[in-house]
Amino acid sequence: MELLAEARQETGLPIITEVLEPADVPLVARHADILQIGARNMQNFPLLKEVGKTGRPVMLKRGLAGTIDEWLHAAEYVMSAGNFRVILCERGIRTFETAVRNTLDLSAIPVVRRLSHLPIIADPSHGTGKWYLVKPMALASMAVGADGLLVEVHPSPDHALSDGPQSLNLENFSAMMDALRQLALPLGRVVAGHQREALPA
């Protein structure tokens, strides 16, 4: 946690990080700007209640076999503890298809939009498992109405300790951001530039 806090101070970037068990919530909430609940914990109810007691925004990833209905009920666990700042994140579901790591279910985004007021973002990195699918699926996510994106970036994906095959290098990330900015116009949307400026030139 100290390293994350230091990184935040030095770069001015807000921090989002995963919290794995109820006992860790207070410490992580002190240092992180957003608490992430991973897909495997979508129905970890003690954890959901605990992050619901903090004032921190919570990003709730959809489980690998989580229906949209179950996902929205999981969000209720956080909100019923008093914390209404929940962000949903579609990150792919498990299907029979083996060409991708997970099947990114983009229809979940307009379905959730119809059922809930909660913001929803897409994670095309975990949602596909392959770097060359991230840019097209990021564009599709914006077109379908996602409020944001979660994208894995690494200066040298081949040397990443985890998830290298689904990480963009800086050049590909930059190309994706350019394409997103152009797509934003006809959709009447704006791409915030925070993250990109903070990256090394």
Stretch that binds its own copies, among 7-15, 39-47, 82-90, 169-177 (CB under 8 A): 39-47
Stretch that binds its own copies, among 51-59, 61-69, 80-88, 169-177 (CB under 8 A): 61-69
Q: Which residue, 8 or 189, has its beta carbon nearer to its own copies?
A: 189
Site string for its own copies, 108-127 (x = CB under 8 A): xxxx--x------------x
Q: What is the DSSP string of the chain?
A: -HHHHHHHHHH----EEE--SGGGHHHHHHH-SEEEE-GGGTT-HHHHHHHHTSSS-EEEEPPTT--HHHHHHHHHHHHHTT---EEEEE--B--S--SSSSB--TTHHHHHHHH--S-EEE-TTTTTS-HHHHHHHHHHHHHHT-SEE---B-SSGGG-SS-GGG-B-HHHHHHHHHHHHHHHTTTT-----HHHHHS--
Q: For its own copies, how many residues bind (rule: CB under 8 A)?
A: 54
- Exactly one of 2, 3, 55, 98 binds its own copies (CB under 8 A); that residue is 98
Catalog residues that contact its own copies under the rule CB under 8 A: 20-23, 40-41, 43-47, 63-65, 67-69, 93-100, 103-111, 114, 127-128, 132-133, 136-137, 139-145, 179, 182-183, 185-187
